[in-house]
Structure 1
Amino acid sequence: MATMHSKELLSSVSDSVRREFKEQKYILSYDEFLDIFSNEPKRLIRNSAEYMLDMFKFFGVSEIKHGFNHTKRHFKLFERVRGKNKPAIVGQEEAHESIYRVLEQFVRQGKIDKLVLLHGPNGSSKSSTAESLANGLEEYSKTEEGVVYKFNWIFPSDKIGYEGLGDALNKHIGFGDNNPSRNGNKSFAHLEDDEIMCKIVSEMKENPIFILPKKERVEYFKKVIGKNLTHDEIPSYLEEGALGAKSKKIFDSLLVAYKGDLEKVLRHVQVERFFYSSRYREGIASVEPQMAIDAQDRQITMERNMQNIPPALQNIRLYEPQGELIDANRGFIEFADLLKRPLDAFKYLLSTIEKMNINLSSGIADLDLVMMASANEKHLDAFKNSPDWPSFKGRFELVRVPYLLSARLEQKIYEEDIKIIEKTKKIGPHSLNLLARWAVLTRLRQPDPDYYDPGIRNLIARLDPYDKQALYDGNEPSNAFTETEKGLLKKHVEDILKESQSSVAYEGRFGASPREMKMLLYFAAQNERHDSLSTIALFDEVEKLTRDRTIYDYLQFEPRGGYHDYREFIKYIKSQYAQFFHREFLSALNLYDEEQYIKALQRYMKNVTSYLKKEKMQNDITGRQEDANENIMEEMESLMGTTGNKREIRERLVGKIASWRVERPSEELNFAKVFEQELATIAKRIYESKEEEIKKIKSSMMMNGSEDYKNLPKNVLETCENTFANLEEKFHYTRKNAWESLIFLNSIKK
């Protein structure tokens, strides 16, 4: 019975594959190809740059928000999963936009004449970007919009007839008899394997339309377009494209053998749909640093597997081009860490890029491919000081790929690693966020006030790394600035981001690498002293990382104006964690319920709005129209610790809501975010008012696991247990992580 099921399965799969093979038109005769070409000529005459540009468009675009009131175009191509444990690329919209514009430039000018050089610090997603492009090509080529063809030469066995060259001269070209009645002008493209004497593939994967002579193919294109075209409207790829040396020799020999009868030559053409593949180097190649040139050829006419070549072709030398450039033709090639190669190993690229061809022993091979390379900044700096740099500069299109400057986006880089880790270990609250914030803080550069207009120079001079990070994440700066000053800073976020971009030491060039941070995540997860990947465990790993300053250059920078001070950044994220946990602890203790105070703030703001507008408001209980309740407002202002002119205080708070709505018109008002600092103050004041009671419970909970804990008074023990349970259920701490955090909180307060 099982055997029967297996046979049915195989039969079903076989039928499905056969049906797909026919529907996808994998194999075509030349006539069939021309029929398809006539229906969609522009799609089938795209060069590699046009094809890649269309691929960008195919996967779609969206707008994403960066900072305040600023959006960037996001290409969904880079959201594609590139393989197991490889997350989408985040935060590199500017680099991807630059690549898109370079492709547009290639398309406009009708030729590819530059190598796209991705440069940036180690681990900034240069290789991931190239990998995403390759993966996109693979997926796109499987779609109807991304169909692409190459061709092979087919020579039938003696049992297949053809219309020969004439019995009088007793000549034929060695693939059948001369009986014209048996096969006529029927194509050999669909012959079965046992009917084929010899099949010669074209390694260059030339567009099949190039088999037609230049003049005829241009006229055919005009005809199928259905209108008169000017010279400028004819694709240069169509007009200038040519067969590779091997295919040209075969074509010419057949044309001579058939006395110029092109139809008979075209019988031997088998058009084949192909699919891009990185694994099998089909239209995609990646070249690691090496000494060897990336293309060469070898003679194949003397090989045993070519012994069935027709006599008409045996008097010519056929060469098989090979190498990465050949494999990548009609597609995309990446030179990984190009500048790690000795200069002599890639000097040939100068002429290759300029002419888009390469000299082989058999002749010149025309290339149609997008070239991309990657380099880290140190190697690029050294290369710029080389006497050869001016020669290469005009052939490179530089695209910068820096580290991210947004902790919110940085955190997303770790998501796939976290999916792996959380299979065996729980992820502690705030751990990823604080690690991302520390990493980004190490990358920030002190702003230069002289870069800005005189009116805001003093404001910029006061901008410390913590407020700068808040701005880059689209968050409010601290209360060290007035509401007016905050508004000015938010207005100039893009200027702050652009300030150092023309500098060699641009912001995002130095600092902690995402690779290093991922490594810390795994180290923290493996730490047996902790039962979760907790923030406490990450603090230990960050401190270990920074002990040897000689390993990483960003640890060697002298602190200046609060920037580049990795030790202070560690203290900062520790203090942030203490604040977060303290607030959660109070909530778990049922002394501070943030939701309760958010509702109180909403009620307060309702009264404030009525007060400022001098309007009546409806009493929720009695339904009467009344003046704003001064007691409600003063009680909340007391909790928030505000002092000064009441009207000014209330106008400032209303201004915060107005700013949120202006900056985030499509988002729902988030009171917890808008009044984050005020809520933190409320939590602190509640703590101060019940400090002794809280200390007693905290001390008791820190005894967890000991005999003394078990012997606590019943009511105290019950409160401790309820608090532990709330920390686990509401905030997702493990019991041990909560206990560790209490000890940490106690130590940091001292």
Structure 2
Amino acid sequence: MGVAGADTLFSLIKQKQDLQSYRERHWNGTVQDYMEIVLGSPRVARNACQRLYDMILAYGFTEYTRHHERYVHYRLFDDPIDHGRDAVFGLDASLMRLVHNIKSAAFGYGTEKRILLLHGPVGSSKSTIARLLKKGLELYSNTAEGALYTYGWRSDLGASGPEAVQWCPMHEDPLHLIPLESQEAVYAELNRRMGPKDYRIVHTGSLCPFCRKTYQDLMTAYDGDWEKVIRHVVVKRLVLSEKDRIGIGTFQPKDEKNQDSTELTGDLNYRKIAEYGSDSDPRAFNFDGELNIANRGMIEFIEILKLDVAFLYDLLGASQEHKIKPKKFPQTDIDEVICGHSVAGHEPILFRSQEGIAWTTMERLHERFSPSCEGLEVLAHDLETSATRWTPVRSVIRHRFTGEMLTTDQKWGVVETTPNHSIYDRSGATFYPEELHEVLAARRIQSFAPVGALFIDVAGAIPGFVTCETRIAAGGGPMTRPSRPGWARLGLP
């Protein structure tokens, strides 16, 4: 292919590049520049709940009536970002309640002090909804409507380059730099420029310990001259990213022996203690816990009901007071949305207790062990070691589900689940019953045949193939994938 072929690929890459958009997302400026931006568009200073609500509305919605009841369908949950890969179907009523709670939090009606708990059976799209909210926030922060900003400190005014600036570890809003005595007047002016039906721009907290020390040191050096202090401040555009751990965090319970609350609120950097001489110096602390890095955005707690009790104290302060308590430091303000999210009752399950190993159903397991799960273990797949092992159960929770259950009939077993419950295949990869997964399928290609041609159903003449027949699984439910008209598949058990 040579150089000409490489030029072709380079030209394809260049066509997708948008240098202007890149420069806008990587904008740097001064505090004065940021003040001009905020005065022109006060919505830049929104809190996390307000930004999340605006993001959902930015994707649009449609209203419809069913059985004389009004419903709102929010297009974000159609997953327009990934062309419907994570689309959620049939949950408009539940999603309406979710968005109403987010709207209430945006207007400061009280739900901003609550955890958004997505509660339902396995496979009821809880993690999918959380994933859509995170993806939506990421993309929204890349747009002009979703722009937000943070700041850093340049100790040497003559220095340049990426290492010359120490960025705020918690991505705080530059408005936090406004002196306390001036904050009321500044926020009153911003709200005066908002529409009468808009929510109010509110102060979201004070400086984090690192920025507070830097600010106080500079105020001392300049004898209290605030204008000279902010010359050391560099403001930049903040783009949220889960992969870069900027504004979006994810926390998952693990072995309680290897996990503590420092994963939420940060930990000491022992290497820097010798450099700064004290373990209470914020420069010797890593503010990289999930609650720290999720500031200005949202954090997802996977299996939040399985958290150890030690984490609940951090969650209580984070949700009720919007504060966290890093080790050796005072309570620190945070501004983020906290979202957390848990099989058919007659499904058989193998368990181990003090009485030995036995089979039972999920429903009976709940009846027996819901008061206390002490000594209860079940077989679980370890994703890290790709092995199945006995795993302690912390709680057994029962959920109600009124939708259609699907039976997945595989060669090595049958299981009945909700449509989007994840299931392991032979290779250990996961699939979902609603994806209509099949081992082998052959399709009738009709478009290539000439008009008036004679069609022969070759699949119907081959033993073992199933066309439009719906097979009944051992569990009594229909197959997840009966063949559609024009299709044929192997009739494997």
- Partner residue in 1 for 2:225: 261
**Offset, 1:134:** 0.5
- Partner residue in 2 for 1:214: 180
Mapped to 1, the partners of 2:183 and 2:305 lie a distance apart of: 41
**Offset, 1:85:** 8.2
**Offset, 1:53:** 0.9
Q: Is the 8 A contact 2:209 2:329 kept in 1?
A: yes
Mapped to 2, the partners of 1:343 and 1:534 lie a distance apart of: 54
Pair 1:570–1:522, CA change in 2 (3 A): closer
- Partner residue in 2 for 1:19: 20
Q: Is the 8 A contact 1:328 1:369 kept in 2?
A: yes
- Partner residue in 1 for 2:315: 349
- Partner residue in 1 for 2:240: 276
Which of 293, 297, 307 is matched with 2:266 structurally? 297
- Partner residue in 2 for 1:522: 437
Mapped to 1, the partners of 2:311 and 2:173 lie a distance apart of: 30
**Offset, 1:299:** 4.7
Mapped to 1, the partners of 2:340 and 2:174 lie a distance apart of: 29
- Partner residue in 1 for 2:448: none
Mapped to 2, the partners of 1:38 and 1:370 lie a distance apart of: 25
**Offset, 1:104:** 2.1
Mapped to 1, the partners of 2:73 and 2:8 lie a distance apart of: 48
- Partner residue in 2 for 1:391: none
Pair 1:82–1:254, CA change in 2 (3 A): same
**Offset, 1:511:** 6.6
Q: Which structure has greater helix proportion? A: 1
Q: Is the 8 A contact 2:205 2:334 kept in 1?
A: no
Mapped to 2, the partners of 1:155 and 1:107 lie a distance apart of: 36
**Offset, 1:3:** 7.9
Mapped to 2, the partners of 1:135 and 1:353 lie a distance apart of: 22
Mapped to 2, the partners of 1:18 and 1:82 lie a distance apart of: 21
Mapped to 1, the partners of 2:182 and 2:366 lie a distance apart of: 47
Pair 1:50–1:18, CA change in 2 (3 A): same
**Offset, 1:245:** 0.9
- Partner residue in 1 for 2:342: 375
Instruction: Answer with 521-530 or 329-338: which moved more.
Output: 521-530
**Offset, 1:30:** 1.1
> Number of matched residues?
402
**Offset, 1:375:** 2.8
**Aligned runs of 1:152-163 on 2, under 5 Å?**
152-156=152-156, 160=158
Pair 1:247–1:380, CA change in 2 (3 A): farther
Pair 1:532–1:359, CA change in 2 (3 A): farther
Amino acid at match of 1:150: T
**Offset, 1:8:** 11
Listed one character per residue, the Cα deviations across residues 532-580 of structure 1 (whole Å, up to 9, x for unaligned) are: 77443x51xx424x1xxxxxxxxxxxxxxxxxxx4xx659x9xxx9xxx
Structure 1, gaps ≥5 residues long:
161-174, 176-190, 387-399, 411-434, 439-509, 547-565, 582-727, 741-750
Q: Is the 8 A contact 2:150 2:235 kept in 1?
A: yes
Listed one character per residue, the Cα deviations across residues 91-145 of structure 1 (whole Å, up to 9, x for unaligned) are: 1112211111211222333662111111111111111010111111011111111
Which of 413, 418, 423 is matched with 1:513 structurally? 418
2:35 pairs with 1:34:
yes
TM-score, length-scaled by structure 1 = 0.46
**Aligned runs of 1:249-648 on 2, under 5 Å?**
249-290=213-254, 291=256, 292=259, 293=261, 294-299=263-268, 303=272, 317-318=282-283, 319-360=285-326, 361-375=328-342, 403=401, 405=403, 512-514=417-419, 515=421, 518=433, 521-523=436-438, 525=440, 534-536=467-469, 539=471, 542-544=472-474, 546=475, 566=476
Pair 1:4–1:371, CA change in 2 (3 A): same
Pair 1:340–1:16, CA change in 2 (3 A): closer
Aligned Cα root-mean-square deviation (Å): 4.7
Q: Is the 8 A contact 1:245 1:364 kept in 2?
A: no
Q: Is the 8 A contact 1:49 1:370 kept in 2?
A: yes
2:448 pairs with 1:732:
no
1:151 partner SS: strand
Indicate the percent of aligned positions where both proteins have the same amino acid: 22
Q: Is the 8 A contact 1:524 1:533 kept in 2?
A: no
Amino acid at match of 1:543: A
Pair 1:205–1:733, CA change in 2 (3 A): closer
Mapped to 2, the partners of 1:403 and 1:532 lie a distance apart of: 34
- Partner residue in 1 for 2:210: 246
Listed one character per residue, the Cα deviations across residues 204-243 of structure 1 (whole Å, up to 9, x for unaligned) are: 111111111133233233345557999xx994732x5211
Pair 1:267–1:79, CA change in 2 (3 A): same
- Partner residue in 1 for 2:131: 131
**Offset, 1:521:** 4.0
Mapped to 2, the partners of 1:80 and 1:359 lie a distance apart of: 36
1:322 partner SS: coil
2:74 pairs with 1:75:
yes
Pair 1:339–1:225, CA change in 2 (3 A): closer
Q: Which structure has greater strand proportion? A: 2
- Partner residue in 2 for 1:237: 202
1:89 partner SS: coil
**Offset, 1:359:** 1.1
**Offset, 1:339:** 1.8
Mapped to 2, the partners of 1:93 and 1:401 lie a distance apart of: 19
Structure 2, gaps ≥5 residues long:
345-361, 373-397, 410-414, 424-431, 443-458
**Structure having the higher Rg:** 1
Q: Is the 8 A contact 1:337 1:376 kept in 2?
A: no
Amino acid at match of 2:94: A
Mapped to 2, the partners of 1:201 and 1:87 lie a distance apart of: 34
1:74 partner SS: strand
Amino acid at match of 1:58: A
Mapped to 1, the partners of 2:135 and 2:3 lie a distance apart of: 38
Q: Is the 8 A contact 1:287 1:324 kept in 2?
A: yes
Pair 1:522–1:381, CA change in 2 (3 A): same
Mapped to 2, the partners of 1:228 and 1:93 lie a distance apart of: 31
Amino acid at match of 1:337: E
Amino acid at match of 1:203: P
**Aligned runs of 1:642-721 on 2, under 5 Å?**
none
Listed one character per residue, the Cα deviations across residues 592-628 of structure 1 (whole Å, up to 9, x for unaligned) are: xxxxxxxxxxxxxxxxxxxxxxxxxxxxxxxxxxxxx
- Partner residue in 2 for 1:501: none
**Offset, 1:45:** 2.0
Amino acid at match of 1:30: V
Mapped to 1, the partners of 2:369 and 2:97 lie a distance apart of: 22
**Offset, 1:146:** 0.4
Q: Is the 8 A contact 1:339 1:383 kept in 2?
A: no
1:152 partner SS: strand
**Offset, 1:84:** 8.3
Q: Is the 8 A contact 2:59 2:74 kept in 1?
A: yes
2:229 partner SS: helix
2:295 partner SS: coil
